[in-house]
Amino acid sequence: MPEAQLFPSIPAAFARGRALGAGWRLCRPESAARGVAGVLLGKRPGSSVEFMDHRDYQPGDDIRRIDWAAFGRSDRLSIRLYREENAPRLDLIVDATRSMDLPGTGKAAAVATLAGMLLEAAQGAGFSPFLWLAGPAGLRPVRQARGDGMALALDFAEAGTPRIVDRAARLGAGSVRVLISDLLWPVAPELVVRHLAAGAASACVIQVMAQSEAEPPKVGAVRLHDHESGEERQIHVDAAIAKAYADNLAAHREAWGAACRCRGAQLVEVTETACFPDFQCEPFLRARLLEPR
Amino acid sequence: MPVFALPLALFALSALPLLAAVYFLSSRHQKRVVSSLLLWPKDALPKGGGRKASRFRAPWLLLLEILILVLLALAAAAPMLGLAAGRRPVCVVLDDRVSLRAHDASGASSRARGLAALLAELEKAGKWEAFVVIAGPRPLSVGSAQTPEALKELIGAASSQSKWPCLAESSDVSAALSLAGQTAPPGAVSLVVSDRAPPKDLAQGVRWLSVGALLPNLGITAAARGRADDGLARDDRVMVELSNFSAAPVKAQVVVERADGAASFVKVSEAAVPIAADGRETAVFKAPPESTLRVRLAVPDALDEDNAVTLLPEPRRILKAKVEVGDETLRQAVSRALLAAGAEEVSSGEALLVSDAPVPLMPAAPGADPKAKVAAPLPQTPQADVWEWRIAVSGKEDQPKAYTGPFILQRGHALTRGLLLDGVVWGAPPAGVAAQTDDEEVVGLGDRPLLVDRLFPGGEHRLFMALAPDLSTLAETPAFPVLIANLADWRLAHEPGLRRANWRQGESVRVAVAPLAPGPWRLEAPGAAPTQWRGGPVFEIPTARTGAHRFMSADGKWAWPFQVNLCNAEASDLRLAVSAAAGQWSDAVKTEGRFKPAFLLILVALGLLMLHAWLVRRGAAASGSEGGFQA
């Protein structure tokens, strides 16, 4: 019988994630993360002082950008283009419902570790990190993005299905959006991913499951207790039931994967073993979400 | 209604709740907290019990296991079904002691009480089948009965056929129980009816009913009759021993009668013999010779069978001997010893020959060594068994020597009874007597035979003794008359007929018949059909019943009557009788003809076990493809 692993508390895990994130940097996507009045040069034309190119004037262009000198030399109205100067933003959406804190597992600690690490890695990469907690009422921003306030906000106390598609939430235009959830709620993945990727520079869905959830269940009579809803179901797990569970899990992941591929988003599937006892960076490197600092 | 030979095995059924508990505990649903029920199949209903009410799904495997366990427990309990339908086999052992005839003042005998107690005990046993065995000196099975009426009829028939007359002086209940165990079906219980106390180590399954009554009794415990010509008396003498088995002194009135006709007696004498409490007295009476005598107690008491004895005239048996000894000193010694032994010396006729003449020799068979000579055979006349005692008197030419021992005596031989040769000087040639291979050495000195016994096919004996009278003191020592007396007794024991006419019940009557009629011989005993006897030359006749007997040849030419009387102190002592009950019947009851389905139950259980294994295997296989076995 394997020795039961002890997982840190959520604040400790969050702090551990912060420490881990100091060695990583959030990758900037090909389409540069856009922001307002940033300090990083964008890859698109903008309003910075760094000249980038000319183009022909088109009606509606700002006439203040007309290069009059060039007009004098070539008698053609052209517009001076300057490189865009932006401030990239990370919208980190964390499923804060009760199911993420599954008793007896390191699921919540893994989520806290990943959140802390992504926030720290984003800051290290010049991103402006924004933390959103997804609950049944929608997305709730966590104002204090730094310090213990964020960790304390991760209490996973709300019961119900997280409502990610919350149009009232003001996600940043052109931001890097990362959703951390177990994705174990009845919803069409396409709706969630489409909303997540809409207007984003990039989107990534990180599915965090407990190891016991990712593996086929053991044979035996069990009384299932839904930690989220409190619903119970008695079932005798045999080989067929275990296979059906594995098939359902694979189908579920495939549905999310298809939705992500359709929207150009990344899907990272990890369990608590990705964070404990050591952080496993390979899934995040493959998804080009993180890069060494 | 089945009967279980091993009912304790049914305790195995107590494992059923344990099995059910194990089953339900193993199938109890353990709580498991999950993040969502999204991935779990909704149509996977539980197999066994649970907290939620759902359509009843019988746990067939559990029921199968329970059935197997029940079958095995029943098989282990060895059930018996059958034809007798619960009829309990009972070995009824009836004691045949004469003391069971003892009756109290009301006239009720122990035998009658025993029969009533037997029926009452059987009534408590429910249905039964009694296998009745009479416990006399030798056990006798008389049959079986299943109802009280049939049992009464069976015992009544046994009584009328003298199978249970209660006339035995002793009984072997152990042998009767053994015979009953062989007669009755295996596992039968036993019920002993006796008037004696049960043994301390009463076996399991034996119920012992003692129905005796402690009664005072006066009985004749010994009786003998002497001949008028035995010595100087002109009348026969009758001796009776009277025993008082009571705590009070009594005066016994003894009457001696002689037979007058076939069934009547005439009083000869009478005497009153005072006997102390628990005492024993001997009374001697004179009686006319050659007539049958009856000695009886005039006052009846609890046991009538020991109140009278019948005494026949004792036969006159005198050994005739012919002495042909040349040595005068030796001859006189032989004659004196024969006279002391009660033998009659004759000069002719058939008699024991004591001779010092050499054994007549005859040539060996044709073809053998012509120098070899063999002793001439004894005359083989049918009615003459000639015994000889040849004394080979050694002269100086034999160079005899005097030997002082140690002498080796064959103690199993009749001649050495009470014989002591300490201090005897025995003169004999160095080679001793010329013995043959088959001769039995009676007296020897190392490897030197001094007296040998040679047995001939007709039963005759020829004794050879090597003796040098000049060097011997044998004839002057007490050993010599002892030797002659033993010879006389031994010879008389082989004389045809009875040595005594009056015997005590339980003794074996010894009858020698050779060389008379070769047989068969016939025994007439009271209460029994005549029996035939073959063989010989000596018969040992058991005396199971009291009364007048007669042993005779088939043609009636030879007949020897003899009388058997009780004369047994233990049988007369009614204070040994007790009234008690002991022992319990075992519950392990078996009945003849029952069907024992244990083997069949085991077969069925094995079949169900195979079915169980097949179902489990099929369920396991189905679980991998179609969602598991749902019995």
Residue with tokens 């396409």: A190
Structure confidence at residue B243 (pLDDT): 93
CB-closest option in B36, B42, B46 to A184: B36
Q: Looking at the predicted structure, is the pLDDT value of residue B547 above 60?
A: yes
Structure confidence at residue A150 (pLDDT): 77
pLDDT tens, residue by residue, A258-279: 999 998 999 999 998 888 888 8
pLDDT classification of B77: cutoffs 50, 70, 90: confident
CB contact under 8 A, B35 and A213: yes
Structure confidence at residue A111 (pLDDT): 93
CB-closest option in A221, A228, A239 to B46: A221
Higher pLDDT, B295 or B227: B295
**A-interface mutation test, from B24, B35, B52, most A Cβ less than 10 A away:** B35
Q: Looking at the predicted structure, is the pLDDT value of residue A59 above 80?
A: no
CB contact under 8 A, A227 and B35: yes
Query: Rounded distance, CA B245 to CA B250, Å?
Result: 10
Residue A121, phi then psi, degrees to nearest 5? -65, -35
Distances (CA, A) of B132 to B90, B112, B177, B559: 8, 16, 10, 37
Structure confidence at residue B564 (pLDDT): 92
Question: If you average pLDDT over every residue of chain B, what do you get?
Answer: 81
**B-interface mutation test, from A98, A182, A183, A224, most B Cβ less than 10 A away:** A224
Q: Which of B460, B580, B481, B555 is nearest to B196 (CA)?
A: B580
Q: What is the CA radius of gyration of chain B?
A: 40
Structure confidence at residue A6 (pLDDT): 81
CB contact under 8 A, B36 and A240: no
Structure confidence at residue A124 (pLDDT): 87
- Average confidence (pLDDT) over A92-108: 92
Highest mean pLDDT: which range of A134-138, B144-148, B454-458 = A134-138
Structure confidence at residue B493 (pLDDT): 78
Residue B41 C-alpha, separation from nearest chain A C-alpha, in angstroms: 7
- Average confidence (pLDDT) over B545-571: 88
Q: Looking at the predicted structure, is the pLDDT value of residue B378 above 60?
A: no
Q: Looking at the predicted structure, is the pLDDT value of residue B541 above 50?
A: yes
Higher pLDDT, B83 or B579: B579
- Average confidence (pLDDT) over B365-394: 55
What is the percent of chain B with per-residue pLDDT over 90, rounded to a whole number? Answer: 17
CB contact under 8 A, A226 and B623: no
Q: Does A230 touch chain B (CB under 8 A)?
A: no
Structure confidence at residue A168 (pLDDT): 82
Q: String of b and e for B261-292 (b: at least 16 CB within 10 Å)?
A: eeeebeebeeeebebeeeeeeebebebebebb
Pairing of strands B508-512, B547-553: unpaired
Provide the residue type at B565 as one letter. N
Q: What is the CA radius of gyration of chain A?
A: 23
Structure confidence at residue A250 (pLDDT): 93
- Average confidence (pLDDT) over B129-158: 87
Chain centre to alpha carbon of residue A51: 34
What ranges make up the beta strands (E) of A125-219? Answer: 128-135, 138-142, 176-181, 202-209
CB contact under 8 A, B41 and A185: no
Q: Which of A114, A117, A132 is nearest to A169 (CA)?
A: A132
CB contact under 8 A, A244 and B41: yes
CB contact under 8 A, A236 and B628: yes
Query: Rounded distance, CA A272 to CA A105, Å?
Result: 8
Residue B51: closest CA among chain A residues belongs to which residue? A234
Look at chain A and count its residues.
Answer: 293
Q: Looking at the predicted structure, is the pLDDT value of residue A238 above 50?
A: yes
Residue B88 C-alpha, separation from nearest chain A C-alpha, in angstroms: 53
pLDDT tens, residue by residue, B435-451: 778 888 999 998 888 99
Structure confidence at residue B625 (pLDDT): 44
Residue A133 C-alpha, separation from nearest chain B C-alpha, in angstroms: 18
Residue B50 C-alpha, separation from nearest chain A C-alpha, in angstroms: 8
Higher pLDDT, A122 or B381: A122
Residue A56 C-alpha, separation from nearest chain B C-alpha, in angstroms: 57
Residue B70 C-alpha, separation from nearest chain A C-alpha, in angstroms: 28
Highest mean pLDDT: which range of A119-123, B42-46, B489-493 = A119-123
* Intra-chain end-to-end CA distance of chain A, in Å: 40
pLDDT classification of B364: cutoffs 50, 70, 90: very low
- Average confidence (pLDDT) over B88-99: 88
Query: Rounded distance, CA A137 to CA A117, Å?
Result: 26
Neighbouring CB atoms inside 10 A of A12's CB total 14
- Report helix, strand and coil shares of chain B as percent, to nearest 5: 25, 30, 45
**Residues of A with CB below 8 A from B38's CB?**
184-186, 248, 252
CB contact under 8 A, A100 and B35: yes
DSSP string, A60-124: TS-GGGB-HHHHHHHS--EEEEEEEEE--EEEEEEE-BGGGS-TTSSHHHHHHHHHHHHHHHHHH
Q: Which of A130, A62, A57, A92 is nearest to A289 (CA)?
A: A92
Q: Which of B321, B307, B327 is nearest to B349 (CA)?
A: B321
pLDDT tens, residue by residue, B321-359: 888 888 888 889 889 998 888 888 888 777 788 887 776
CB contact under 8 A, B51 and A182: no
Tokens of A120: 């720290």
**Residues of B with CB below 8 A from A225's CB?**
31-34
Q: Looking at the predicted structure, is the pLDDT value of residue B177 above 70?
A: yes
Structure confidence at residue A181 (pLDDT): 94
Within the 162-221 window of chain A, which residues sit less than 8 Å (CB to CB) from chain B? 182, 184-186, 209-210, 213, 220-221
Structure confidence at residue B592 (pLDDT): 46
**Residues of B with CB below 8 A from A223's CB?**
29-32, 50-51
Query: Rounded distance, CA A245 to CA A237, Å?
Result: 10
Burial class (CB in 10 A: 0-12, 13-18, 19+), A291: middle
3-state secondary structure of B233: coil
Q: In this structure, are residues B287 and B268 in contact, taking their beta carbons and an 8 Å threshold?
A: yes
pLDDT tens, residue by residue, B105-126: 888 888 888 989 988 888 877 7
Range with the poorest average pLDDT among A167-181, B223-237, B472-486, B550-564: B223-237
Within the 61-100 window of chain B, which residues sit less than 8 Å (CB to CB) from chain A? none
CB contact under 8 A, B38 and A186: yes
What is the percent of chain B with per-residue pLDDT over 70, rounded to a whole number? Answer: 85
Structure confidence at residue A241 (pLDDT): 87
Query: Rounded distance, CA A91 to CA A171, Å?
Result: 7
pLDDT classification of A4: cutoffs 50, 70, 90: low
Tokens of A9: 């508390």
pTM for this model (two decimals):
0.50
Within the 4-63 window of chain B, which residues sit less than 8 Å (CB to CB) from chain A? 27-42, 44-48, 50-52
CB contact under 8 A, A221 and B27: yes
Within the 246-285 window of chain A, which residues sit less than 8 Å (CB to CB) from chain B? 248-249, 252
Pairing of strands A202-209, A266-271: parallel
**Residues of A with CB below 8 A from B51's CB?**
223, 234
3-state secondary structure of B400: coil
Q: In this structure, are residues B37 and A241 in contact, taking their beta carbons and an 8 Å threshold?
A: no
pLDDT tens, residue by residue, B384-415: 455 777 777 766 677 888 999 899 999 899 88
Range with the poorest average pLDDT among B5-14, B367-376, B561-570: B367-376
Query: Rounded distance, CA B111 to CA B555, Å?
Result: 41
Query: Rounded distance, CA B245 to CA B575, Å?
Result: 7
Look at chain B and count its residues.
Answer: 631
Query: Rounded distance, CA B617 to CA B631, Å?
Result: 12
Q: B91: which strand partners?
A: B131, B190
Structure confidence at residue A143 (pLDDT): 73
Residue A251: closest CA among chain B residues belongs to which residue? B39
Q: Looking at the predicted structure, is the pLDDT value of residue B230 above 60?
A: no
Residue B32: closest CA among chain A residues belongs to which residue? A224
pLDDT tens, residue by residue, B592-630: 456 778 888 999 999 999 998 888 887 666 554 433 333
- Average confidence (pLDDT) over B527-531: 84
CB contact under 8 A, A249 and B626: no
Residues 6+ apart with CB under 8 A from A104: A212, B33
